[in-house]
Amino acid sequence: VIAPRVVETTPAWGQSDSLFEPRRSAFWLFAFLVVVGAHVVLGWVAAAFDASPAGAWLALGIWAAYLVVFVLAIAALDLLEPEPPAFLAAAALWGGLVATWVGDVANDAINTIVAHLVDPAFALRWSDAIAGPASEEVLKGLGVVVVILIAPRQVNTVLDGFVYGAMVGLSFQVVENFHKTMIAIENAIFVNVDPVGEVQNLFVERGVFGGVFSHAIWSGIVGLGVAYVVVGTRGTRATRALLAVGALLAAAGFHAVWNAPQFVAHTLDDLIARGVVIGLPALLLLAILVGFALLRDARWIDAILQSEEPLVSADERRELVTFAARHRAVWKEWRGSGWRAAARLRRRQRAQIRLAVAAARWPAGDARVVTARARVRRLRTAAP
Amino acid sequence: VSPRHEQLLRVPARGVSLAATGPGRVLSESARTHAGGLGGTLAVLGIILGYLFLLPWIADALDDAATPTARRTVAFPVPATPARDVTISVPEGWEVDRSRVGDEQRIHLVDEDLQVWLTVATAPPGPDQVEHALAQERRAVEETGRVRFAEPAAVRGPDGLTGRVVQYANPVTQGLIGAWGGQDRLVRVRASWAGARDGPAEAVLVLVRSLGRPA
């Protein structure tokens, strides 16, 4: 018998809360700020819909599609315990409607302060590199904090922090891009240029070359830090808080360098160079941090499923525990037995992971665990 | 402890901080659920209010402190369409206030030699005014034959002086107001935005005492 340092009453994995929590003050703060933010942001973009309906709708369609693609990518990383759509939407609302609005007010004030403390010309030149990181990274990080305050049991792994942070950042980025597209449309009309072409140009610049490396990445790093404070198990809380501050500073640093006047991109070569020099290091840092978080999940899954043989064999456990291994197995099945078999394998993998989550959360005889086992058994014996 | 739970306990406990709970303590779900709720919300609220009100307040205070007794304004009309230039004479010992950046109601433009900070006295146009103002501007361009501001390209005034539009703080007014600075005693402003669809509006140029010059 192992004498544990901590008795877990319930493993946090699989726990959940409702988004509608009227007894919690954070819920009302969230709701109030989102309503005000919606009013402000709609005011920003409404004019362009009047000025150029075609361009505005095209922009809306493009950025909405862009959002969907990235949400799917984030969801793929969050396979083990997917976050509920309502909470992902809440994170997106915070990023798109609250962080954008408050950041806009704060950035103006910071620019003025810098102009006084240093020099107006310096403030003009460096405003994007100073004000944006100083306000927006904090405001986006607060989105993850608010989700935790509304539903503490919802964020129960460090990876969850990444997922919510990335959602906040992605939404922020999409609304910001959409707003800038609206401005470009107004300007294009003003100087008799085709607004549709402007929309396409902005999508290439801010979506294709900037999107992969910017707000979603930076906020993902911040979200990992916030979650680590709450659910981390190493060191004291103060130590973890210091690491979270480090994550915030790293994200703000990447943001500042990205916006620095030396790296303003005007040509395709500029865009590519900026992505490689500034964007890739941020992406690599995030990949390493997410990798550590996933590794921890992998160990957890492997430990739980050891007692689920023969429903989950040792080989299958090895395939399940990493993103790459899961997809390698599916790909191998596709090549060997066709797409139907590959799809079946993918369903079985998901069912086995659900079984792991259920087994971690509830006693072995619980109906939910039994149901999860039955589903795995059914998929294992399904006709090839 | 069953073998199964032994395994679980070897894995770091998820969602429960060992450091926070301490050896032997059980962190109940309810304790975890409610821990830090109100305090955390107030902290978030405080940060938001700081960004929304404290920073702008500091910015305003710095503005006031910079020129507590040495600020004056020169009001000038913003002509109705078609746009025409307005030349404002800056009194000896005064210069255009360069201290503001990014305020919603201040549009700043930079000449090669002189920064011009223009304060629009009326409120920025609402979304419903934009289309009207844009139409006005299109007509003005057609009538005067002048190329308006295509950020960040340089623009050339009728007298050959050049200016460069650097940044507009308010996207709604973007492209609606322009200015050329020329000689440092004269500020040439072309401001064809009419907060007014019915007629001319009034704008205000903020001046401050020149430093190092006789007042």
Nearest-angstrom CA–CA distance, B204 and A129: 30
Nearest-angstrom CA–CA distance, B182 and B189: 10
Kindly report the backbone phi and psi dihedral angles of residue B152, in degrees, each rounded to the nearest multiple of 5, phi listed first: -100, 30
What's the pLDDT score for residue A165? 95
The percentage of residues in chain B with a pLDDT greater than 90, rounded to a whole number, is 8
Which chain B residues have a beta carbon less than 8 Å from that of A132?
Answer: none
* Alpha helical stretches, state H, A5-99: 25-51, 53-77, 85-93
* Structure confidence at residue B74 as a pLDDT band (50, 70, 90): low
Each residue of A201-214: pLDDT tens digit? 888 888 887 777 78
Which of A100-114, B18-32, B59-73 shows the lowest per-residue confidence on average (mean pLDDT)?
A: B18-32
Q: Is A190 in Cβ contact with B4 (below 8 Å)?
A: no
Each residue of B117-135: pLDDT tens digit? 333 322 333 343 334 444 4
What's the pLDDT score for residue A124? 66
In contact, A131 and A113? CB cutoff 8 Å:
no
Show which of residues 54-113 on chain A sit within 8 Å of chain B, judged by CB atoms: 102-103, 105-113
- Residue in chain B closest to A181 (alpha carbons) equals B171
What's the pLDDT score for residue B38? 84
Q: Is B110 in Cβ contact with A142 (below 8 Å)?
A: no
Of residues B71 and A271, more confidently modeled: A271
How many CB atoms within 10 Å of residue A41?
19
Q: Find the angle CA(A17)-CA(A322)-CA(A210) to the nearest 5 degrees.
A: 80
Instruction: Look at the block and give the residue holding tokens 């609302």.
Output: A93
Nearest-angstrom CA–CA distance, B60 and B54: 10
Which chain B residues have a beta carbon less than 8 Å from that of A120?
Answer: 98-101, 115
* Structure confidence at residue B141 as a pLDDT band (50, 70, 90): very low
ipTM here: 0.85
Radius of gyration of chain A (CA): 23
Which chain A residues have a beta carbon less than 8 Å from that of B115?
Answer: 120-121
How would you classify residue B45: left for phi > 0, otherwise alpha for psi between -120 and 50, otherwise beta?
alpha
Contacts of residue A205, defined as CB under 8 A and 6 or more positions apart, other chains included, come to: A265, A271
Of residues B57 and B29, more confidently modeled: B57
What's the pLDDT score for residue A225? 94
What's the pLDDT score for residue A359? 82
What's the pLDDT score for residue B10? 37
Q: What is the DSSP string of A211-239?
A: GGGSHHHHHHHHHHHHHHHHH--SS-HHH
Tens of each residue's pLDDT in chain A, 384 residues: 233 333 333 345 555 567 777 888 899 999 999 999 999 998 877 766 776 788 788 888 888 888 888 888 887 777 667 788 899 999 999 999 999 999 999 988 888 788 778 876 677 678 789 999 999 999 999 999 999 998 877 787 888 899 999 999 999 999 998 888 877 776 666 555 677 877 888 888 888 877 777 899 999 999 999 998 888 777 788 898 999 999 999 999 999 999 898 887 767 788 888 888 888 888 899 889 888 887 777 777 788 888 888 889 888 888 887 778 888 999 999 999 899 899 999 899 889 888 888 887 777 788 888 999 999 999 888 655
Nearest-angstrom CA–CA distance, A234 and A363: 27
What's the pLDDT score for residue B58? 92
3-class secondary-structure state, position B59 = helix
Tokens of A169: 């950042």
Return the beta strands (E) in chain B as ranges. 71-78, 85-89, 94-96, 106-111, 115-119, 154-156, 162-167, 177-181, 186-191, 201-209
Average pLDDT over all residues of chain B: 47
Cis peptide before B152 (omega within 30 of 0): yes
Task: For residue B144, give the nearest of B153, B156, B152, B131 by alpha carbon.
Answer: B156
Which of A203-212, B68-77, B104-113 shows the lowest per-residue confidence on average (mean pLDDT)?
A: B104-113
Each residue of B157-215: pLDDT tens digit? 333 333 333 223 232 233 333 333 323 344 445 443 333 333 444 455 556 555 433 33
What's the pLDDT score for residue B207? 62
Contacts of residue A364, defined as CB under 8 A and 6 or more positions apart, other chains included, come to: B4
DSSP-derived pairing of the beta strands B154-156 and B186-191: unpaired
What's the pLDDT score for residue A269? 81
* Alpha helical stretches, state H, A151-192: 158-190
Q: What is the DSSP string of A254-285?
A: HHHHHHSGGG---SHHHHHHHIIIIIHHHHHH
What's the pLDDT score for residue B33? 43
How many CB atoms within 10 Å of residue A290?
20
Helices B37-49 and A120-150 pack at an angle, to 10 degrees, of 160
In contact, A107 and A131? CB cutoff 8 Å:
yes
How many CB atoms within 10 Å of residue A320?
23
Mutation site for A-interface testing, chosen from B16, B60, B98 by largest number of A Cβ within 10 Å: B16
Please give, rounded to a whole number of angstroms, the shortest distance from the CA of A245 to a CA of chain B: 15
**CB nearest A13 (choices: B6, B15, B101):** B15
Kindly report the backbone phi and psi dihedral angles of residue B11, in degrees, each rounded to the nearest multiple of 5, phi listed first: -85, 140
Nearest-angstrom CA–CA distance, A352 and A355: 5
Mutation site for B-interface testing, chosen from A21, A108, A160 by largest number of B Cβ within 10 Å: A108
In contact, A292 and A162? CB cutoff 8 Å:
no
Instruction: Look at the block and give the residue holding tokens 């998820």.
Output: B14
3-class secondary-structure state, position B164 = strand
Q: Of A205-209, B2-6, B21-25, which has the strongest mean pLDDT?
A: A205-209
**CB nearest A303 (choices: B10, B115, B167):** B10
Residue B49 pLDDT > 90: yes
